[in-house]
Amino acid sequence: MSQDFRLDNIGMVNRNKKISFTFNGKKYFGYEGDTIASALIANGVHLVGRSFKYHRPRGFFGVGVDEPYAILQLERNNERDPNIRATEQEIFEGLEVKSVNCWPSVNFDIGAINNFLKMFFPAGFYYKTFMWPPSFWYKIYEPFIRMAAGFGEASIKHDKERYEHKYEYCDLLITGSGPSGLASAYAAAKNGARVILAEDKPRYGGSLLTSDVNIGNQTGAEWSEKIITELKSMSNVIVKNRSQVFGYYDHNMLVMSERISDHLPKTQKYLPKQRLWYIRAKEVLISSGSIERPLVFGNNDTPGVMLSSAAKEYMKVYGVLVGKKPLIFTNNDSGYETAVEFKKNGINPLILDTRKEPSSDIITEAKNLGIEIKYSYVVVAAKGYKKVKSADIAKISDNKKDLSNIENIECDCICVSGFWTPSIHLASQSGNKSEFNEKIDAFIPKKSKQKENTIGSANGKFTLEETINEAFNKGYEVSNKITENNNKVSIPTVVEKKSTEHDKFWCVPLPKGKSYKRFLDFQNDVAVTDIELALREGFRSIEHVKRYTTLGMATDQGKTSNLNGLQLVSDIENKVVPQVGHTTFRPPYTPVSIGAIVGREVGKHSKPTRKSPMHEWHEKNNAVFVDAGVWLRPRYYKQGNETLFEASKREAKNVRKNVGVCDVTTLGKIDVKGPDAAEFLNRVYTNAWLKLPVGKARYGVMLREDGIVMDDGTTTRISENHYHMTTTTAQAANVLSHLEYYLQLVWPELNVNVVSTTEQWAGAAIAGPNSRALLMKLFPNTDVSNEALPFMGYKEADLFGIPAKIYRISFSGELAYEVNVESDYGNFMWEKIIEVGKEFQIQAYGTEALSTLRIEMGHVAGSELDGRTIPHDASLEGLVSKKKDFIGKRSLSRSAFTKPDREKIVGVVPLDKTTSIPEGSYIVKDPKAKLPNPKLGHVSASCWSVEYDNPFSLAIIKDGKNMIGQKLFAMSPLKNKTIPVEIVSSHYVDPEGKRVRA
Amino acid sequence: MLYIFCPHCGLRSQNEFAYGGDATVKRPELNKEISDQEWNNFVYLRKSPRGKHLELWHHISGCRQWIKVERDTSTHEIFKTYKADELTE
């Protein structure tokens, strides 16, 4: 197998290692170190994709992150990776890639008909087309747009790859390892600074790898190799390749994505595929270099038209010729460097220079080498469909407006150079307002906003000598600020060819009678005519023009198109570019995979899972779990083929009849301690707390300042200055923050401390008529009689040698106790309860039965205390003290809260006593009323009452207490149900509360 | 991501903190007669200035102290941070 376009004696790829891969099903080979782009070009393949809108054939335009065309879909280790840039992805054995945005194939693409229908796809076509008739939208337009839009196909499989996040801190982060990056890193590292040097490409050195320069008597490549080797050996330096710093955020936080395994056939053991670095840097030096600007002419998107710097890099780094009959079209000296490189490799290029009589070292060298140069010449249009076959060229008048006779010359590639655009993205993201530099026709960073400096060609310095001097000095200066060391390294001498001024000309006029498409944005198919149309239609702001035409909005973010677009707008508007301004640069600089952003926080790792100490017992006993906040709680314990409904009914019934035990470890617990604890609770809760005796518990409700119920729970006075507060599982963290807020900021004079003890205690609620009998067996040495341990009483006791706390509190409405032991004894406690409870027919019950029990008792929970209710709405007005002040009290006298017909809690029973009412149903007077049917309220919670063996629900309805006895309707449009119901008291079972006091 | 100086712990990233709103709001004293208007202002009305603002942050994943942060809301520049008991007037 020979590669027609591979050069033998040049390049940095490893010729000893051949690598085979497939592109669109066909097998090719390249060498280790090749990108997909370089390997395909070596094989003479230039047609790799179709354009976004017109489906025109597309090849390669660049050689790195700026590539707008060559976006492919990759299969690696049975995983699909859409939208990878062929110019960045290195090849590995077995790599499979294919073209996107074309059907049935890249060679014959039906979508290319759009190219001939282009009058239907002007700028903003999606705002104008697809509008009528409206009925066409779902069936015709949307499927069509979905099929036509986008590039690769995302995998719908779970991504098995591992991605990691890493936090790092450094004195100095340097983004880019070109001459300025290397020099500044070296100077700073030698001065003792902790440096991170990030390089996007696999190879370090940037432009030094391809320019014909000499630093300290070494070639650019040799010098960069020497510096990078030394940097790598220093303990205060982290050097990373394949790492793109893509975002500059507040307070010098930068984010970098490191592609660790993308270039390998398979991710290695113990390594992630990609790693996202969050870097907090004391100082940042942006050395991101510059990107060559295209020149604009007819059909300038034809495969074979590419940046001249890319053509040079393909030769020097990869040993690959982009063509054998190259045409160089340039407005500056850079094109000459590419031409000289072609010539040195035995290829005869032709240079078209838009300038009239330029002269410089490199031009002289080109002449001396015998390269043919045509001055004041332009390419009018590229010819050829799937590959450049020839070019129409012409001499252009001095005022750059008129073209003379058009000649056609044969060529197989057109290398364009329209001068250089500094990559100011990161500087701009940091908040640096850029300024337009007339000398280079581009924006450069202005005054630093954060601790950042831009150096080298990213700062508009286009000679190596300037760059190296600036970078050494900046590296020293910045590191000196941080380390206060004074180790200055000497700056090497630089030899380079001097270049002369570039030509401001960039867009070739159309010849008479021709309507060639002249593209500005190659990825989004935005042509000169689109911008002209947008301006004709009245769009003026560059931000509007951008969004209307989609200029610069593709995944390449306009790296090659932005400035030409701005230039065109300012030309048409007769303004200068700085008046037009530029659009906002936003992170990410290059696309970042979602996997890297998510990192390890996938699946079970997306949030912590908390398990109670009794979790294993629940698992062994067939518990079906439910997420409760961050906790996993047993929902029910399945016996045989039981359904949720059957199991929860059985469990709840057993509580009412015998005794049940429920894991209540997840309840929030807060220790409140200090001489002012009683006073503090008195201000936090709506009811009175000053007189609660030691050894007693009390139920309390706390409000937000706006009067809405925040949480409820019982708090027990353990000793004089020590209270044990419980909160709901869901609000535990918020309540703690709430208490801390008042103690630290509002009433700092109160001598109180609060601390969460949720995880310190394991809790078991023992509920049912047999619970006291069980307790007597569990605590034989403790008097648990009704007199010694009355309702809302508290006792410390000994559970088979383990210290335990018994709270006589009840959520189920039955005679009930909550036993707490230190978490490590939780399982012991639970197993003892089950073991001893056997003779009392004990059964464990889950949250579903717990719900049933509390609903039929009319006890409120999260579904009633839903962030909209005040105590009165939930029939808790008895707990609201009239005598003392407390958080939120003043709000309760707001007129909206005192309205007599406010929604209040009631019970709801279906008339047929069999149909369950869906939660969320509306309560209405007349189910046939005109829509929208006036709603009286909603059903907040439903259960099957085990006491009466019929459905029962809680609802919050207008003027609730006066509705009791009325016959209304529960409507659930969602479930398509209308159920005749009767409104009853919310206290459906044991309304006098006899059982809990029994 | 902001870098906030906790007066108790030192410089910490924003993800250790929870935002707590305007630090200049003063809760009316307990048991004080107060008009609907005054109470409304306290509960609901907050200034949202562009520029320097004194705000509360809660170091929830750190020392659990509420702190006051003087920050420019448009540039995110943090001028100074204070403990809860500082700047009480």
CATH value at residue B61: 3.30.2270.10
Are both A131 and A167 inside the same structural domain?
Answer: no
CATH value at residue A566: 1.10.10.1100
| Nearest of A210, A309, A199, A197 to residue A559 by alpha carbon | A309
For residue A270, pLDDT over 70 is answered with yes
Structural domain contains residue B16: yes
Are both A907 and A993 inside the same structural domain?
Answer: yes
Structural domain contains residue B17: yes
Q: Of A305-319, A555-569, A829-843, which range is least confident?
A: A555-569
Structural domain contains residue A258: yes
Q: Of A106-120, A479-493, A608-622, A977-991, which range is least confident?
A: A106-120
Buried b (16+ CB within 10 A) or exposed e, A677-711: bbbbbbbbbbbbbeebeeebbbbbbbbbbbbbbbb
For residue A134, pLDDT over 70 is answered with no
Chains A, B: CB contacts within 8 A come to 56
Are both A279 and A184 inside the same structural domain?
Answer: yes
Residue A564 confidence (pLDDT): 92
Structural domain contains residue B31: no
Structural domain contains residue A884: no
Partner B contacted by A252 (CB < 8 A): yes
- CA nearest to B33 within chain A: A890
For residue A149, pLDDT over 60 is answered with no
For residue A370, pLDDT over 70 is answered with yes
Cβ B58–A250 below 8 Å, yes or no? Answer: no
CA dist A54 and A56 (Å) reads: 5
Structural domain contains residue A737: no
For residue A1, pLDDT over 60 is answered with no
CATH value at residue A948: 2.40.30.110
Domain that holds residue A22: 14-148
Query: Cα distance from A250 to chain B (closest Cα, Å)?
Result: 5
Cβ B30–A683 below 8 Å, yes or no? Answer: yes
pLDDT band at A83 (very low <50, low <70, confident <90, very high): confident
* pLDDT tens column, A463-477: 999 999 999 999 999
Residue after which a domain boundary falls, among A90, A114, A148? A148
Q: What is the mean pLDDT of residues A119-134?
A: 64
> Out of B39, B42, B64, whose CB is closest to A740?
B64
Are both A98 and A58 inside the same structural domain?
Answer: yes
DSSP A892: G
For residue A557, pLDDT over 90 is answered with no
Cβ A251–B75 below 8 Å, yes or no? Answer: no
- CA nearest to B59 within chain A: A737
> Out of B3, B34, B44, whose CB is closest to A280?
B3
Are both A387 and A504 inside the same structural domain?
Answer: yes
Query: Cα distance from B86 to chain A (closest Cα, Å)?
Result: 10
Cβ A748–B85 below 8 Å, yes or no? Answer: yes
- The SS3 of residue A156 is coil
CA dist A568 and A12 (Å) reads: 39
Q: Of A33-37, A113-117, A335-339, A781-785, which range is least confident?
A: A113-117
Structural domain contains residue A440: yes
Question: Does the model's ipTM exceed the 0.90 cut?
Answer: yes
pLDDT band at A555 (very low <50, low <70, confident <90, very high): confident
Selected residues 15-74 of chain B with any CB under 8 Å from a CB in chain A: 18, 20, 27-28, 30-31, 34, 36, 39, 42-44, 56, 58, 60, 64-66
Query: Cα distance from B6 to chain A (closest Cα, Å)?
Result: 15
**Full DSSP string of A566-609:** HHHHHHHTT--HHHH--PPP-S-SS---HHHHHTT-SGGGGS--
Residue A693 confidence (pLDDT): 97
CA dist A128 and A965 (Å) reads: 60
pLDDT band at A150 (very low <50, low <70, confident <90, very high): low
Are both A258 and A301 inside the same structural domain?
Answer: no
Pair of tokens at residue A842: 């004990």
The tally of domains found in chain A comes to 5
By the 8 A CB rule, do A718 and A724 touch?
Answer: yes
> Out of A250, A706, A744, whose CB is closest to B2?
A250
For residue A653, pLDDT over 90 is answered with yes
Own/partner long-range contacts of A555-559 (Cβ < 8 Å, ≥24 apart): A555/A71, A555/A83, A555/A151, A555/A523, A555/A591, A556/A65, A556/A66, A556/A67, A556/A68, A556/A523, A557/A425, A557/A585, A557/A589, A558/A521, A558/A583, A559/A65, A559/A66, A559/A68, A559/A291, A559/A421, A559/A423
CATH value at residue A126: 3.10.20.440
Are both A252 and A304 inside the same structural domain?
Answer: no
CA dist A661 and A890 (Å) reads: 41
Domain that holds residue B12: 3-26+36-83
By the 8 A CB rule, do A49 and A69 touch?
Answer: yes
Maximum distance among all Cα pairs of chain A, rounded to whole angstroms: 114
Are both A252 and A332 inside the same structural domain?
Answer: no
Q: What is the mean pLDDT of residues A967-983?
A: 95
Cβ A249–B44 below 8 Å, yes or no? Answer: no
pLDDT band at A128 (very low <50, low <70, confident <90, very high): low
pLDDT band at A129 (very low <50, low <70, confident <90, very high): low
Q: Are strands B52-58 and B66-72 parallel, antiparallel or unpaired?
A: antiparallel
> Which residues of chain B lie closer than 8 angstroms to A885, CB-CB?
30-31
- Give the neighbor-by-neighbor strand order of the sheet with B66-72: B18-22, B52-58, B66-72, B78-83
Q: pLDDT below 70 — which residues of chain B?
A: 89
pLDDT band at A125 (very low <50, low <70, confident <90, very high): low
Are both A411 and A427 inside the same structural domain?
Answer: no
pLDDT band at A118 (very low <50, low <70, confident <90, very high): low
* pLDDT tens column, A225-266: 999 999 999 999 999 999 999 999 999 999 999 999 999 999
pLDDT band at A608 (very low <50, low <70, confident <90, very high): confident
Q: What is the mean pLDDT of residues A70-99?
A: 91
> Out of A737, A885, A894, whose CB is closest to B31?
A885
Residue A148 confidence (pLDDT): 60
Are both A953 and A991 inside the same structural domain?
Answer: yes
Residue of B2, B4, B43, B46 to mutate, interface with A, max A Cβ within 10 Å: B43
Average pLDDT, chain A: 94
Which residues neighbour A628 within 8 Å (Cβ) at sequence distance 6 or greater? A666, A729, A730, A847
Cβ B58–A449 below 8 Å, yes or no? Answer: no
**Full DSSP string of A697-729:** EEEEEEE-TTS-EEEEEEEEEEETTEEEEEE-T
Residue of B8, B30, B41, B89 to mutate, interface with A, max A Cβ within 10 Å: B30
For residue A117, pLDDT over 70 is answered with no
* pLDDT tens column, A801-848: 999 999 999 999 999 999 999 999 999 999 999 999 999 999 999 999
| Nearest of A591, A581, A577, A578 to residue A543 by alpha carbon | A581
The tally of domains found in chain B comes to 1
